[in-house]
Amino acid sequence: MASRVKSLFIWMGIALLILFWLPMLAVRRLFDRDPALYNTGKLFRNLGMAISKINLNWKIAISGHTDIDDRRPYVMVCNHLSQADIPLISNLPWEMKWVAKKELFEVPIVGWMMRLAGDISVDRKARNRRKKTFKQARYYLNRKCSVIFFPEGTRSRNGKLNTFAYGAFELAVSEGVPILPMVIDGTQNTLPKKSWTFGQSKHIKLKILKPLDTKELKVDDIKELSESVRSHIARQLAEWRGRPVEEVDNLRPSG
């Protein structure tokens, strides 16, 4: 009962923040002359950071290569554990356009804000979804703004790493843009799937791994690049959890 009451107050705080942020975002968009809508997007990420601060149980530790220049564009990739991943990653001091399913853009207010910020909508049912997504992503990369993908496509149900789609890696190779891998852990208990109550997770880790150059890579290297990045993420999860890699990887049978 206590957790439900606490969760209710947190959601009320989030709702107030969103209502406060919407007009500010609309005004910023009106005066944002950057073709990548950099300043508008950055203000929207600040909302995510503010939301992550509301829950006092969320103690975030960020490590790794945090000193990158985000106006040197990257294709960023991260594992996906919870709805809480997005506001928590927004604690990074960078602007990045999020590649997200179109259903999120249809959510009142939040969807409007995503459109104002210039995030990238993906219609998973459309036959030309890859072409449209790449076109939008290239637009931002060519204007010195990074984009971020969850290559698993959806949140992990059991906290283990799922299969990676090749889209983000294909984009990085075709554009000669470096891949910036990220690893997040601890959010799987903060806001479970199909639940509105917040969990008791206190320690959330986010690590920025070493950027990977793609300028010398070709189409035939995409699969190997994806598997290499996935392997690095799996090893970091295993290290944090103090378990063998096969116990954090859905593609590797345990034992």
Distance, CA of 175 to CA of 44 (rounded, Å): 26
Domain that holds residue 85: 2-247
For residues 117 and 44, the answer to whether their CB atoms sit within 8 Å is yes
Please state, rounded to an integer, the average pLDDT across all residues of the chain: 91
Name the domain count of the chain: 1
Distance, CA of 103 to CA of 80 (rounded, Å): 17
Residue 252 belongs to some domain of the structure = no
Max mean pLDDT among 5-14, 27-36, 187-196 falls in 27-36
Residue 77 belongs to some domain of the structure = yes
In the beta sheet, which residues pair with residue 87?
none
**Residue 194 confidence (pLDDT):** 66
Longest Cα–Cα distance in the chain: 58
**Residue 253 confidence (pLDDT):** 66
**Residue 51 confidence (pLDDT):** 93
Residue 255 belongs to some domain of the structure = no
Query: 225 φ, ψ to 5°?
Result: -60, -45
| Percent of the chain at pLDDT exceeding 70 | 94
Angle at 215 between CA 72 and CA 166, to 5 degrees: 90
Q: What is the pTM of this model?
A: 0.92
CATH number at residue 99: 3.40.1130
Q: What is the pLDDT of residues 173-193, one digit of tens each?
A: 999 999 999 999 998 877 666
Q: What is the pLDDT of residues 63-94, one digit of tens each?
A: 999 999 999 999 999 999 988 899 999 999 99
Residue 214 belongs to some domain of the structure = yes
For residues 76 and 90, the answer to whether their CB atoms sit within 8 Å is no
